[in-house]
Amino acid sequence: MTSTGAGPPPDDELDPDILEELEFWGGPAELGDNPAEPDADPAEDGPDADRSDPVTGGQEGALVLIGTPIGNLGDLSPRAVLALQDADVIYCEDTRHSRKLLTHAGITGVPLRSLHEHNEDDRVDEVVGKVAAGGTVAVVTDAGMPGVSDPGTKVVAAVARAGLPVTVVPGPSAVLAALVTSGLATDRFVFEGFLPRSGKSRKERVAVVAGEPRTTVVFEAPGRVAATLADLAEACGGGRLVAVARELTKVHEEVWRGSLDDAVAWAGEVPVRGEVVVVVAGAPDVAEPEVADAALVAAVAERLAAGERTRGAVDGVAAAFGVPRRRVYALAIAARDPGQGPTPTSPPMPAPAPTPAPPE
């Protein structure tokens, strides 16, 4: 390509696709010399022209979920700005926070309504009514995508149940930002949100993370990071890899990587501040112990002969030998019913102990 007239040298020319995108967002006045006569095919302005709204697709009435920056205001996309300024009303987690965002984007005149964890139930019918009446209702949270450990899920479900349009303007995500910078596997992962603060439910959730073969992403408050890392180290083993991301996209962004044991020591030495995302490596594959089928069948038979029921016997043998329960159950059924194909070396399976008759 050659450069004609004044302008940047050829090496600095914009990619045509990027230039087209910039022209689109620049508006009609930048497409031609005369704002009233944009440089476009006259046929495109005919009765069959596509005038679909780039956000709602031309639909009358829609709920629009808009992703907002997780720390850096520069991450607010041009499409998000367009969606916010074209909305009839914006429902937001904190009106004061969102007003600052709108001011940064140069948006005025759009009314704000609060939508947070304490009033979302009360707002559901109101939002559905506005969308049903043909309004464009935008939903934002203080940071990231609505509904991801933030309000919005109940409103989306209600609008969808009503058969009304729900669309999205994707944006920054702390979950994905932490995941891709963690250095851990990204092909399969799960998001656990915030772990319970204490009690049985916390222990159960930590145990789930410990046994999860996929990478796990967890949100945590800065004051609880040290305790959470210690609990994870105890459940997962101190050698499990972890990444702790804080203040993502901000000036003091930091991603710490290492083992859980080292993470516990790090968190104890340096107070962790800011928004925190913990990314834990998946549980390693554990080889199943080599146990002969005949040994498992014999163990089940011994328990059944002692009076245990089939379910209890199968559970006990699976736990004792460290093998999958489904394997023990299949062997027990096969040994009990020759039609299911018992192994040649399997001993005969005694019938389960009969239930004692009630006294007369």
Within 10 A of 36 (CB to CB), how many other CB atoms are there? Answer: 7
Band the pLDDT of 54: cuts 50, 70, 90. Answer: low
Residues 308-334 pLDDT 10s: 999 899 999 988 888 888 889 999 888
Give the strand order in the sheet containing 254-259.
Answer: 189-194, 215-220, 276-280, 241-246, 254-259
| Mean pLDDT along residues 100-109 | 94
- The pLDDT of residue 56: 56
Most confident of 89-103, 306-320, 331-345: 89-103
Residues 171-186 pLDDT 10s: 999 999 999 999 999 9
Band the pLDDT of 34: cuts 50, 70, 90. Answer: very low
C-beta pairs of 235-238 under 8 Å, 24+ apart in sequence: 235/206, 235/207, 235/209, 235/210, 236/209, 236/210, 236/260, 236/280, 236/283, 238/264
The CATH number of 175-280, from 3.90.950.20, 3.40.1390.10, 3.30.950.10, 3.40.50.1820, is 3.30.950.10
Using DSSP bridges, classify how beta strands 62-66 and 166-169 pair: parallel, antiparallel or unpaired.
parallel
pLDDT above 50: residue 65 = yes
Band the pLDDT of 288: cuts 50, 70, 90. Answer: confident
* Amino acid letter, residue 231: D
Whole-angstrom distance, CA of residue 141 vs CA of residue 92 = 5
Tokens of 323: 């093998």
Q: Are 20 and 31 a contacting pair, CB within 8 Å?
A: no
Rg (the chain; Cα; Å): 30
**Mean residue pLDDT across the chain:** 83
φ/ψ bin of 321: left (φ > 0), alpha (ψ from -120 to 50), beta (otherwise): alpha
Whole-angstrom distance, CA of residue 77 vs CA of residue 135 = 22
Tokens of 105: 């984007």
Q: Are 214 and 283 a contacting pair, CB within 8 Å?
A: no
Within 10 A of 26 (CB to CB), how many other CB atoms are there? Answer: 11
Residue 296 φ then ψ, to 5°: -70, -45
- Name which CATH class applies to 62-172: alpha beta
Residues 106-154 pLDDT 10s: 999 999 999 999 999 999 999 999 999 999 999 999 999 999 989 999 9
pTM, rounded to two decimals: 0.66
Question: Which regions of 95-200 does DSSP assign to beta strands (E)?
Answer: 112-114, 136-140, 166-169, 189-194
- In the chain, domain spans: 62-172, 175-280, 293-340
- The pLDDT of residue 46: 47
Residues 246-282 pLDDT 10s: 999 999 999 999 999 999 999 999 888 888 999 999 9
Tokens 């710490």 sit on residue: 256
